[in-house]
Amino acid sequence: MTAFIYLASQSPRRSQLLTQIGVEHQLLLPDPHEDAEALEAVHGREAPARYVQRVTALKLDAAVERLKAQGLPAAPVLCADTTVALGGEILGKPATAKDAALILQQLSGQTHRVLTAVAVQKGRQRVTALSESWVRFAAMTPAQIKAYVATGEPMGKAGAYGVQGRAASHIEQIRGSYSGIMGLPLFETAALLRQLGVRC
């Protein structure tokens, strides 16, 4: 059994979720010279599922190279990426408060998909999974959207909201994986880790 893994993610939520299932982990974050955001660029009319799996694979490639370059002890490396899709449209992270408000206007009163791809590599072996969930927002008034954006919570989050935060008061229904919507589907993640001999 492997004692610990590397988590190649800047998301504090993913770290908390791994801790929740008892997985010892160490952060393996991008160096300042790495352009991590460039990996998240959408290619044309890319399907959301294809997009999130491609981005996760690229992030894992970069993390595995980082591990080698830093000469760190060998251990499995985990990467994940989450995207929000309304129909076939990918709703990424808002760049500004105005962006966040526009995204939330689109989600208001609608059901959207949340897709989280997970990939883990140990040596030359790589295992992957995709979690798909559905979230329905109640209709939000302009004042409610403005108040939520003012909290700063939408920034840095796909779809401009965090399910575990204040947005929960506007979420009418969820189908699928709550932890997947947060950013790391625990059922799928635990299954992948067990395949690679990680205790969880």
Segment 50-54 long-range contacts (CB within 8 Å, at least 24 positions apart): 51/83, 51/90, 52/81, 52/82, 52/83, 52/115, 52/116, 52/117, 52/130, 53/117, 53/128, 53/130
Catalytic residue, chosen from 31, 35, 61, 81, is: 81
CA distance 9 to 13: 10
Task: DSSP for 5-57, please give it.
Answer: EEE----HHHHHHHHHTT--EEE-PPPTTS-TGGGG---TT--HHHHHHHHHH
Tell me 2's DSSP state. Answer: B
Active site residue 35: no
**Active-site residues: which are they?**
81
